[in-house]
Structure 1
């Protein structure tokens, strides 16, 4: 009996040690009035990109987390699907802000740098760096640019010149068993398709170019088998 009790004591200490170690890996969180983990609402921790995030959100730039800072950061995170939405000015939040800035700067001239070919007729361009896609006829912009969500680290959307080779308006993935509406495949299992997520939600897809439903529908109407697709750049964080 004493041996059994000693073993239980050892296991209890190990569980406690693991729990304490886990707490050191996440920002400190201010609990809501309920006082439980489920009521967690805001982190009190200052993030590594605190000043940059404060500046982006037009907050007083002092590099120190405040309740008002946290509220503003959480609002941004919820708007753009950044998780966890606890108000922490971390890498993913700042990376999302930089991507948004680049997307806005693209305006109606996303191919200003001429990186997407202009001698191919109708072509769908995918810029991984800015997480943008658009369709052009030669050098004339036909549709977009629109935000997209491309492959995560380890499942990168492959770069290069490709062609749409198969389309299925109500496709279901045989690998991941999820719906892929308006799927237009252009490279192996990689395709344009609609997804029920915000385009800035990290870490990304399994290689496909995720799109908002309305954008995927327009791509479906404008593209056909044999149309060119050009993918270039590198997704932030991969």
Structure 2
């Protein structure tokens, strides 16, 4: 009996050692008394709510739980694509508007150089595009209009977005139709020298920034200076024709070099020096100046 008891104790001790070394009952360090860790050679059951590990040994994304209200819908239908809506409307000014105008110009809906400003001319061009393609003619760009335009046009080049050629003239403001007038449109970014409703010459112009805007309204040429330097900014202002408390039409070398990438401090910049020089000789003090959208 003593020998049998000794043999039984030896067998039990050996079994205990085997259990500890395989990890069957060993508690993982720091686990706080949770479920026992499965042996390294066994396949661990996937925890509830997760998928088995992928082929690279990393856990894959959790599988949807049956209690998750989105589980059935996400499994039966793909996730919606991100929205590509771009809303543009009258009064907006941005590089997206410039791209819009360039794309409309490719289709002959917009007949001037892109300005980046969404005004009545752009709204009319958008309406024409919408009606031609069976869309509501709202004159504003919603996601459907934008996607349809992208589908039938190509990405504008740098020259298409900011061409160096002269901008097409805007329809003259009614105030420009009589007398001698410098008719200046902010929408088309043009200056038209008009006499009794007839355009004598025209040129591209640039205006002040949001912080130093060019004033709008009806003015008169107060005085002229062929060679002038700003007393505030100390920059040259050749062929200046002053019309409103220090604001003037004048040549800008910065406009000639950088185009519409810059802005004035409120003056009307001209980039064609030869055209402005000829205009300077024709304009007289007292001639009308109309700045309009």
Question: Is 1:117 aligned to 2:176, yes or no?
Answer: yes
Instruction: Provide the residue aligned with 2:31 in structure 1.
Output: none
**Alignment counterpart, residue 149 of structure 1, candidates 206, 226, 233:** 206
What displacement does 1:57 show?
A: 8.6
Equivalent positions of 1:209-228 (< 5 A) are 209-212=268-271, 213-228=273-288
CA distance in 2, matches of 1:127, 1:147: 10
Instruction: Provide the residue aligned with 1:97 in structure 2.
Output: none
What displacement does 1:156 show?
A: 1.0
Q: Any idea what the Cα deviations from partners look like across 1:117-169, whole Å, max 9, x if unmatched?
A: 323x111111112111111112122222x210111111111111111111111
Question: Is 1:186 aligned to 2:243, yes or no?
Answer: yes
Greater C-alpha Rg:
2
CA distance in 2, matches of 1:173, 1:161: 23
User: Equivalent residue of 2:281, what SS?
Assistant: helix
What displacement does 1:219 show?
A: 1.9
Equivalent positions of 1:46-85 (< 5 A) are 52=100, 55=103, 61=150, 73-74=157-158, 76=160, 80=164
Question: Is 1:158 aligned to 2:215, yes or no?
Answer: yes
- Residues paired across the two proteins, number: 155
User: Equivalent residue of 2:227, what SS?
Assistant: strand
What displacement does 1:172 show?
A: 0.4
Q: Any idea what the Cα deviations from partners look like across 1:18-72, whole Å, max 9, x if unmatched?
A: xxxxxxxxxxxxxxxxxxxxxxxxxxxxx967984884696xx569xxxx96xx7
What displacement does 1:116 show?
A: 3.2
TM-score of the superposition, structure 2-length normalised? 0.45
CA distance in 1, matches of 2:267, 2:105: 31
Instruction: Provide the residue aligned with 2:292 in structure 1.
Output: 232
What displacement does 1:222 show?
A: 1.3
Unaligned runs of 5+ in 2: 1-94, 107-149
User: Equivalent residue of 1:171, what SS?
Assistant: coil
CA distance in 2, matches of 1:180, 1:52: 34
CA distance in 2, matches of 1:51, 1:165: 38
User: Equivalent residue of 2:176, what SS?
Assistant: coil
Unaligned runs of 5+ in 1: 1-46, 81-99, 234-238
Equivalent positions of 1:3-42 (< 5 A) are none
Higher normalized strand content (fraction of residues): 1
Once the two structures are overlaid, the 10-residue window that deviates more, 214-223 or 169-178, is 214-223
CA distance in 2, matches of 1:50, 1:166: 35
Q: Retained in 2: the 8 A contact 1:152–1:207? A: yes
CA distance in 2, matches of 1:165, 1:159: 16
TM-score of the superposition, structure 1-length normalised? 0.54
Q: Retained in 2: the 8 A contact 1:186–1:229? A: yes
User: Equivalent residue of 2:174, what SS?
Assistant: coil
> For the structure 1 residues 76 and 164, does the alpha-carbon distance in structure 2 shift closer, same or farther, using more than 3 Å as the test?
same
User: Equivalent residue of 2:275, what SS?
Assistant: helix
Where relative contact order (Cα < 8 A, 6+ residues apart) is larger, the structure is 1
Q: Retained in 1: the 8 A contact 2:219–2:243? A: yes
> For the structure 1 residues 74 and 189, does the alpha-carbon distance in structure 2 shift closer, same or farther, using more than 3 Å as the test?
same
Q: Retained in 2: the 8 A contact 1:192–1:216? A: no
CA distance in 2, matches of 1:189, 1:56: 38
